[in-house]
Amino acid sequence: MPRPETVVPDQVAAPYPVAFDSSIVCGFGRGSSELGIPTANVNLNDGLNQLDVGIYYGWCRLTKVDHPECQVKRDDGNTVSFNYGNDLAADEVDQALPMVMSIGYNPYYNNQEKTAEVHIIHKFPHNFYGARIQGLVLGYIRPELDYTTKEALIKDINTDITIAQEVLAREPYLEYRTSV
């Protein structure tokens, strides 16, 4: 199925904004290594669970968590360092950052468990596992799709990023930067 056209409402309308507040947990480690598009995996709260599976846009905010660095073994067998966001720069914390979010089963990878993953539209020099992430989902982009190639999935994610950047720059969506 080709991606359906994204229809963006002029105003943020119910059920949005949908809020989340989570610590950043591990996934399978495929976002950065296979796709070159890292995603901060978050816990599914009631609000996120009420949304259909699919791809969304909104704002998020990172906060450092006061916790000593430690090593955690991820499900893919690799050990990752949890630094709780303590390496984040001043312009990367405590302010709204644009994001795209994927909620669902990643049909291309056929996951058995539902996940919520946030790709922050910003280039970070390192990981921030364990940091706190708060966010507001402001709208829907498209359903989750299956793909025949990894390149097609990457191309669609890049289209999602372009759509999110364009929408979030509009006044009714920009306003939510101060509420996240």
115 binds Mg ion (CB under 5 A): no
83 binds Mg ion (CB under 5 A): no
Identify which of 37, 31, 94 has the alpha carbon closest to the alpha carbon of residue 60: 94
Residue 141: HSE in the Cβ half-sphere, 13 Å Cα cutoff: 27
Q: How far is the CB of 103 from ligand RBF (least distance, A)?
A: 9
Q: Which helix (H) or strand (E) holds 164?
A: helix 150-168
31 binds Mg ion (CB under 5 A): yes
DSSP 6: P
Q: List the single partner that 24 binds among ligand RBF, ligand ADP, Mg ion, none, CB under 5 to 8 Å by kind.
A: ligand ADP
DSSP 91-155: GGSSS-EEEEEEEE--TTTT-SS-EEEEEESS--SS--TT-EEEEEEEEEEE-----SSHHHHHH
Q: How far is the CB of 127 from ligand RBF (least distance, A)?
A: 14
Q: How far is the CB of 27 from Mg ion (least distance, A)?
A: 4
Query: Between residues 47 and 107, which has the closer beta carbon with respect to ligand RBF?
Result: 107
Query: Between residues 12 and 87, which has the closer beta carbon with respect to Mg ion?
Result: 87
Residue 74 burial (CB < 10 Å; 0-12/13-18/19+)? Answer: middle
Q: List the single partner that 93 binds among Mg ion, ligand ADP, ligand RBF, none, CB under 5 to 8 Å by kind.
A: none
Q: Quick check: is 117 catalytic?
A: yes
For ligand RBF, the binding residues (CB under 6 A) are 27-28, 30-31, 35, 37, 39, 55, 100, 102, 106-109, 117, 119, 144-145, 153, 157, 160
Q: How far is the CB of 167 from ligand ADP (least distance, A)?
A: 18
Calculate ∠ Cα 69-43-60, nearest 5°. Answer: 80
